[in-house]
Structure 1
Amino acid sequence: MDQENVRATLTVAAPAAGVFAVLADPTTHSAIDGTGWIQESADQAPLTEVGQIFRMNMYHANHPNGDYQVANKVQVLDPPHAIGWLTGQEKDDGQLEFGGWIWRYDLVPLGPSETEVTLTYDWSAVPQSIREYIQFPPFDPEHLTNSLRHLAELVSGR
């Protein structure tokens, strides 16, 4: 684990385009999630462009509300090589506010039916004001490996 990010890598028995298609479908994210926090996607549209916003309904026992919603903004979209998003929330005035952490998947084809997938959670841009009440990473780094295993299972079932 680096000071400002954690990552995990797994070889998935599927072509990169198939892996990317699953990652670009927000409705699959609850099945992929290694933390169990994502309940369901509030948006059904596939991720197709940088700047696109998609929301997820979440649950975490330590969150002040328990149930909450995050707004994600696509930052990286390079099919079938990379996809990533910033996570934030909608404020009371309707404006989106992002905390500075990003989820990113990098895909490297290892042949026609295998892909090396690296999942990185990077919090290097999180301001001090947020670090005062959230410890980073806010989960055990093993959750990244769990997410990649879930992704592999989901892709192989398609």
Structure 2
Amino acid sequence: MTDNQKITVTRTIEAPAQSVFNVLTNPAEHVKLDGSGFIRSVDHGDRIQKVGQVFTMNMEGEHMGGEYQTDNHVTGYVDDKLVAWQTAPAGTEPKGWEWMYELDAKGPNETEVTLTYDWSKVTDKELLKKVHFPLVQEHALEESLQKLSELAAS
């Protein structure tokens, strides 16, 4: 579902919520999950364990003129249920866009995962002129959930 300030996709994954959560909370796995093609590698980042952590990713995209880094500030964390972060150019504070994964166990080996890409809190007028949201399209989020499904089930 897409509205003018966020995109939400949902998929049922044949894996326990804990397995899905273990993939999502390991920044080193994010390159394997990325449906956008922007993530190249993790620069630094321990397993996500609490709100307030920051992990840095090496990225590449024409929208930023090539290679760049992002700092991802963890904004939501509930064991086996939720992980979320706001992204910012490395060394800066978040500008208002957020990635959120919500997990709902549907049984011992099935988890409904909802991925939301939300830019509703972006208020920087200069940034809004430069970056045309959504930077990542709905089909890329669906691809990320497909990749998550494959990783969590393995």
Question: 1:100-111 counterparts in 2 under 5 A?
Answer: 100-111=96-107
1:153 is matched with: 150
Aligned partners of 2:22 and 2:97: how far apart in 1?
Answer: 23
Q: How far did residue 156 of structure 1 move?
A: 1.3
1:30 is matched with: 31
Aligned partners of 1:45 and 1:107: how far apart in 2?
Answer: 21
Percent identical? 38
Q: Which one of 114, 117, 122 corresponds to residue 121 of structure 1? A: 117
- In the TM superposition, what whole-angstrom CA distance separates every residue of 1:55-90 from its partner, at most 9, and x where no partner exists? 0000112322x0110000000000111100000023
2:86 is matched with: 86
Q: How far did residue 44 of structure 1 move?
A: 4.1
What SS is found at the alignment partner of 1:42?
strand
Question: 1:6-45 counterparts in 2 under 5 A?
Answer: 6-45=7-46
Aligned residue pair count: 152
Aligned partners of 1:43 and 1:121: how far apart in 2?
Answer: 23
Aligned partners of 1:52 and 1:80: how far apart in 2?
Answer: 17
1:2 is matched with: 3
1:73 is matched with: 73
Q: Which runs of 5+ in 2 are unaligned?
A: none
One-letter code aligned to 2:112: E
Residue 128 of structure 2 is aligned to residue 131 of structure 1: yes
- In the TM superposition, what whole-angstrom CA distance separates every residue of 1:132-151 from its partner, at most 9, and x where no partner exists? 11111012211110000000
Q: Which runs of 5+ in 1 are unaligned?
A: none
Provide TM-score, normalisation by structure 2. Answer: 0.95
Q: Which moved more, 1:118-127 or 1:39-48?
A: 39-48
Q: Which moved more, 1:138-147 or 1:104-113?
A: 138-147
Aligned partners of 1:131 and 1:141: how far apart in 2?
Answer: 19
What SS is found at the alignment partner of 1:108?
strand
Do the aligned partners of 2:56 and 2:90 also contact (CA within 8 Å) in 1? no
